[in-house]
Amino acid sequence: MEKNNKKADVKRVNYSFDMLRNDILVAPTEDNEKLETGDKYLREYQSKLIVAQMLSYLAESYETENYKDNELLRNAIETKVDGDEQLSGFLFFVSQNPQFDYSWNYMRKCRTNYIEFLVNSIRFLNNVLVDINLLTGKPWSGNNIHVVFHNILDVELTSEEPFVKARLLWENFYHLVTVKSDYDIIVKANDTLLKASGRKEPSDMKKLIDSVFEMVNNESKKITENENV
């Protein structure tokens, strides 16, 4: 208990996008992702990592209060995408494939969907960062607690500052195209499900964490009492 009190008194460092990018640098392996190894998977990892880092930098760029309004954010991203000369060149190059009948129509539709994907990813990542920092505000006494966001980002609660460690679930990377500002959260102790909830507002995360925190601490107290009997 004394150790937990000391931990609670420590001035906490906010979990940042830099920390997130550093955490997700861990490559998929047979041990942590149950994937085959080889050149194909290394190439896929490198490509996925580029996308993940791009989205995190983009989310960080539009993290300010100026872009809390959905319409303002969408307009800003649309302007950014429409002004990307290299992206426009790539879309033209792909459109010249006979499969698309040498037409830009399909690629224009893809561009519109891409803008929506970027907006949703920015909202998702910024909301997740808020949620992760709510996790660091609790002196967790339980071990092996994991909070999983949208079945793509696994955040482990640790005993050392910043008290969280994130891991991208590379095998579920395709879930990125379905992210939105609302998402599901599950909390596990080892492989045991403790709680699951939908998240629409920061208050939803706070309620979930408060509930799990109470559950974990009560279980820890029971174990301590039984050991002292």
Would you state the pLDDT for residue 37? 54
User: What tokens does 152 get?
Assistant: 């793509």
> What is the average per-residue pLDDT within 32-51?
71
Whether pLDDT at 6 is above 70: no
Q: In what order do the strands lie in the sheet with 164-168?
A: 164-168, 153-157, 145-149, 183-189, 192-199
User: In the structure, what pLDDT confidence band is assigned to residue 116 with cuts at 50, 70 and 90?
Assistant: very high
Taking alpha carbons only, the member of 133, 146, 160, 189 closest to residue 7 is: 160
User: What tokens does 180 get?
Assistant: 């939105």
> Comparing 25-34, 145-154, 155-164, 167-176, which segment has the lowest mean pLDDT?
25-34
Sequence-ordered list of residues with C-beta below 8 angstroms from that of 18, at least 6 positions apart, any chain: none
Would you state the pLDDT for residue 128? 95
User: In the structure, what pLDDT confidence band is assigned to residue 31 with cuts at 50, 70 and 90?
Assistant: very low
Would you state the pLDDT for residue 2? 43
